Structure 1
């Protein structure tokens, strides 16, 4: 299997837990949201770390990805400390969008393989949809 195919397979497989955790009965209801939020934090932190690693291979690395990777990783950690579930999940959704924007800039500078950003757009859309569903679930639970 090529590195590209492996990367794509692992990337899209990584979205499955977001959707599995939305299924009632898949996991105990009292920990389902916590599992979703912590999984999101792990994935967002991993993605922030890839920005750091990507730029370190350059002789004169761009500053934005290095700084953004740290800010977004710290924001991800902060999302786990926020008592409001809706605010925490909204923050993580914004973090994933922020990660995509940094990747877009890296791609625009020609620092990434041509297929990678197209994949990042698709996976970010898939993850964002899961987050929107989670937000809808939270709002409906609160209105009961």
Structure 2
């Protein structure tokens, strides 16, 4: 793996903000109350993490779709099919309450690492892709876990 370019690294880290903020509002109830009163309830605790998590899984489908364009023949067809799975997962597996949705998103983010690796292994993702995705996923799953289990 090579060094992660600055722009993807910074944007990836910025993309963690809603997850980290949601986890903080769970762990610090006064921050949750302030956020609810100031920004609104959808920016508190599991709500912000669940909504944003579904958006990001859908976004990752788009990223994987882009990687599939670098494949040929049957590999490309399989890649396109696999690329839509995170968005479908987010659509079908969330909406059943905060606990079930949170667990489903955790599983979705862990599962997408397998797809990330597959595209990376076949040379469709950049060399640095897994070096970026592993720590970002660890933070996302940890934050979602806080929302589910605390």
- Report the TM range for the smaller structure's normalisation: 0.7 to 0.9
Match of 2:117 in 1: 104
Match of 2:9 in 1: 8
1:66 is aligned to 2:53: no
1:38 is aligned to 2:51: yes
- What is the TM-score when the length of structure 2 is the normalising length? 0.79
Aligned partners of 2:129 and 2:85: how far apart in 1? Answer: 23
Aligned partners of 1:17 and 1:88: how far apart in 2? Answer: 16
1:121 is aligned to 2:121: no
Unaligned runs of 5+ in 2: none
- Alignment RMSD, CA only? 2.0
Aligned pairs for 1:80-95 within 5 A: 80-82=94-96, 84-95=97-108
Aligned partners of 1:17 and 1:64: how far apart in 2? Answer: 32
The Cα shift of 1:30 comes to 4.7
Aligned partners of 1:111 and 1:74: how far apart in 2? Answer: 22
SS at match of 1:62: helix
- What is the TM-score when the length of structure 1 is the normalising length? 0.82
The Cα shift of 1:112 comes to 2.2
Aligned partners of 1:52 and 1:79: how far apart in 2? Answer: 21
The Cα shift of 1:59 comes to 3.8
The Cα shift of 1:97 comes to 1.1
SS at match of 2:128: helix
Unaligned runs of 5+ in 1: 138-144
1:57 is aligned to 2:70: yes
